[in-house]
Amino acid sequence: MRHFPAFLDLQGRTVLLLGAGEALAAKATLLRAAGAELREAPRFDHALLEGCAMAVAAGAPEADLAALHAACMARGLPVNVVDRPEFCSFITPAIITREGITIGVSTGGAAPVLARLIRQKIEAVLPPLLGRVAALGAKFQAAVRARIPSLPARRAFLERALTGTPADLALSGRQQEAEAAFARLLENAEAAPRGFVQLVGAGPGAADLLTLRALRALGEADVIVHDRLVSAEVLDLARRDARRIFVGKRRAQHCVPQEGINTLLIELAREGLRVVRLKGGDPFIFGRGGEEAQALAEAGIPFEVVPGVTAALGCAAQAGIPLTHRDAARMLTFVTGHTRDGRLDLDFAALARPGQTLAIYMGLTTLPELRDGLAREGFDLRTPAALIERGGSPRQRELRGTLTELVARAPAWAGDGPVLLLLGEAVAHGALPARAEAAFA
């Protein structure tokens, strides 16, 4: 982010407009709407900057534009010269307004037309009377603070009020009824915060594979407890002021032991916080979400589980591999290749049965043991297989071959990302998706 977004209070303050033309006239309209007092001049003189809060220019001679920029930088005044980024210390975004609500969209000056197109999309989905909802919050701001001193509890109340019945009434133009509904809700609000935990699946890594419920949870969380498989792109979708706690684990290397994570979730919830336990993939598929849910239930902490796209689905989809296929596999088995107490304790006889696809999580380091165990039960080691690293993310890569070939080639191929093994005849029926082919061309 090159430019820091900010909203300036220009009520009653002087702004210099230097130059002439339609572009400057458009800026003048916006500045007047913001309450600024305009000082207009066709040519630059240093005296024009006395008492100014900022300067905007367009359509003036080149020498004047350069002089204005230099003088503003020397004085520490914000300056914007339309379509001349080298003469700007700030840029103006595409603006959406709704009676007290202002939204700015910026591309950093790189593509103003794109910013305008994004603005149009946002305009299309925002209700015309959205500002009336903001007016509700402003009218009751002091009363809400007095009634609910706890910040987490206050935030939770406002989320209910500004998305519930009071907001619906305001959006339909029934402002008096909206205020009455808000007042009733506030009268019955709990002053003490109530903690809540959401066990949320972050999916395989790509931010646009999050569910809508997961996205909403990230936007409401006070604290996010996340593991190492959660991508930075997903974390960027969380509320900016949410506290982030990393509890990542690798094989035999636990930043925080599972018992410590369970305790942490309980303690945070008892502080009255809304907690998101963000886990790669799905919380209940080899994510130890079941253990965390049990610990929360035993502690009397309310919680919910938000499922995510598990690694097998993300890997297979992006690699174009069908997990089931009428000619090859009518059963799908999820398996962990992670050892417990140094032993790979699996029912190899069941895994060696034909007509199924095996999706083996965390099996890279135990590939030789997997091969040997399957071979003992008569499994054909020439069966098609694929190792997929960082599946479902933009960094996905694959190694394909027979199980025998993958065991031999995997040590030199493997990187530092999570790896899934897909094993079965269905792997041979896969085709690279058209979108991926275009990307790799």
What is the DSSP code string of 392-416? TSTT-EEEEEEHHHHHHHHHHH--S
pLDDT of res. 254: 55
Q: Is the dihedral of CA 20, 9, 241, 88 positive or negative?
A: positive
Helix, coil or strand: residue 423: strand
Contact (CB, 8 A) for 84 and 23? no
Other CB atoms within a 10 A radius of the CB of residue 313 amount to 21
3-state secondary structure of 164: coil
Average pLDDT value for residue range 53-80: 96
Query: How far apart, in whole angstroms, are the C-alpha atoms of residue 424 and residue 253?
Result: 31
pLDDT (0 to 100) of residue 139: 93
pLDDT tens for residues 129-142?
Answer: 999 999 999 999 99
Residues of the chain with pLDDT > 70: what percent? 95
Helices (H), 320-418: 348-351, 367-376, 403-413
Tell me the per-residue pLDDT of 189-206, one tens digit each, with 9 for 90 and over.
Answer: 887 777 899 999 999 888
Kindly compute the dihedral angle of the four CA atoms of residues 198, 201, 207, 209, in this order, to the nearest 10 degrees. Answer: -120
Give the per-residue pLDDT at 440. Answer: 35
**pLDDT of 339-355, one tens digit each?**
766 678 899 999 999 99
Give the residue numbers marked as catalytic: 227, 249
What CA–CA distance (Å, rounded) separates 195 from 275?
8
Question: Is the CA virtual torsion 230, 236, 237, 243 positive or negative?
Answer: positive
Percent of the residues in the chain that have a pLDDT greater than 90, as a whole number: 68
Q: Kindly report the pTM of this predicted structure.
A: 0.72
Give tens-digit pLDDT for 362-388: 889 899 999 999 999 999 999 999 999
